[in-house]
Amino acid sequence: MIKRFFPRSSALMFVRRMCTPPAAPPPAQAPGSAPNSMSARYRPSDFQKFILVWTKKYKSKEEIPSFVSAEVIERSRSEARIKISNILMLLTALASFGAILAGKAAAKRGESVHQMNLDWHQQYRDEQNKIDAEKPK
């Protein structure tokens, strides 16, 4: 529609006059630092500081500023969640492997759940027979 009423160069000048350029470019921020607005800042707890250090966002707890952006905290929580789930998966795999080895060793010794159940029932019957024999008739 602008092309019908104005030549191309006039239309571009009109559009450029309508928008205002920013007064100054925003200052460069260090990685992991919080933006200038207070609404996007968050005071991390001790546990969150531990997570920030564990996920290597900061080198130590002393380096963490008093206010950190919520994005940085959420990102480090997500990374910590992923690390913990990977560790738990590895531990589960190792425990399964250990259970397999223990089961194979028990099978070589001749132990089985079925045999343990039969032995328990036999022991129970023996105890019951002993009690019945001791009872006066």
Give per-residue pLDDT as tens, 9-37. 555 555 555 555 555 555 555 555 555 55
d(CA 127, CA 122): 9
Closest CA to 41 of 49, 33, 50, 29: 33
Q: Is 106 part of any domain?
A: yes
Enter the tokens of residue 110: 């001749």
pLDDT of res. 21: 54
Q: Is 72 part of any domain?
A: yes
SS3 of residue 3 by DSSP: helix
Confidence of residue 42 (pLDDT cuts 50, 70, 90): confident
User: How many folded domains does the chain comprise?
Assistant: 1
Domain residue limits at 93: 35-132
pLDDT tens digits along 82-103: 999 999 999 999 999 999 999 9
Confidence of residue 39 (pLDDT cuts 50, 70, 90): very low
Contact criterion met (CB below 8 Å) for 33 and 65: yes
Q: Is 4 part of any domain?
A: no
pLDDT of res. 26: 52
Q: Is 48 part of any domain?
A: yes
d(CA 123, CA 118): 9
d(CA 20, CA 30): 28
Other beta carbons within 10 Å of 132: 9
Mean pLDDT of 64-70: 90
Residues 6+ apart with CB under 8 A from 126: none
Q: Is 29 part of any domain?
A: no
Q: Is 99 part of any domain?
A: yes
